[in-house]
């Protein structure tokens, strides 16, 4: 479905370079003139343009994506960390993405501080709303 990443403004713009170095298209919210957009507007834009959002805004984006029937994917880096930490965690998400043959349709990838990568279904029909407040990775 997508090989396009939309890097949220709460993260470093350097993540665009990380994706591009791996051969993926990536855009930074701020560079697209979308800085300050509400999360629900950003999710709508990403869905309409086949982007996989990369963010550290876990709670808000999980709630928004739980309303969608179909989406290109969502990547959450936990926690925000420094620029270098963000780059390292995003690399781990991209590693999983490449193993999955670039298929994140209706998937949520969460990369934790310890570098562990967790993937699960996340749609209107298939999500665990309790995971938002109390993450339990399988």
Cα four-point dihedral sign 69, 92, 110, 17 = negative
pLDDT by residue (tens digit) across 61-73?
999 999 999 999 9
pLDDT by residue (tens digit) across 12-26?
999 999 999 999 999
| Sequence spans of domains, the chain | 4-131
Q: What percent of the chain has pLDDT over 70?
A: 96
Phi-psi region of 55 (alpha: psi -120 to 50; beta: other; left: phi over 0): beta
Q: List Cα–Cα distances, 40 to 37, 47, 83, 85, in angstroms.
A: 8, 11, 25, 27
């Amino acid at each position: 479905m997508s090989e396009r990443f939309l890097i949220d403004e709460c993260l470093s713009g350097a993540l665009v370079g990380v994706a591009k170095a791996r051969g993926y298209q990536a855009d930074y919210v701020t560079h697209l003139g979308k800085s300050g957009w509400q999360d629900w507007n950003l999710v709508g834009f990403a869905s309409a343009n086949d982007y996989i959002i990369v963010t550290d805004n876990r709670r808000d984006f999980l709630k928004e994506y739980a309303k969608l029937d179909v989406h290109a994917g969502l990547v959450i880096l936990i926690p925000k960390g420094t620029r270098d930490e963000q780059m390292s965690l995003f690399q781990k998400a991209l590693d999983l993405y490449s193993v999955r043959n670039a298929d994140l349709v209706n998937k949520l990838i969460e990369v934790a501080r310890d570098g562990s990568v967790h993937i699960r279904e996340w749609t209107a029909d298939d999500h665990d709303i309790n995971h938002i407040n109390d993450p339990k990775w399988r």
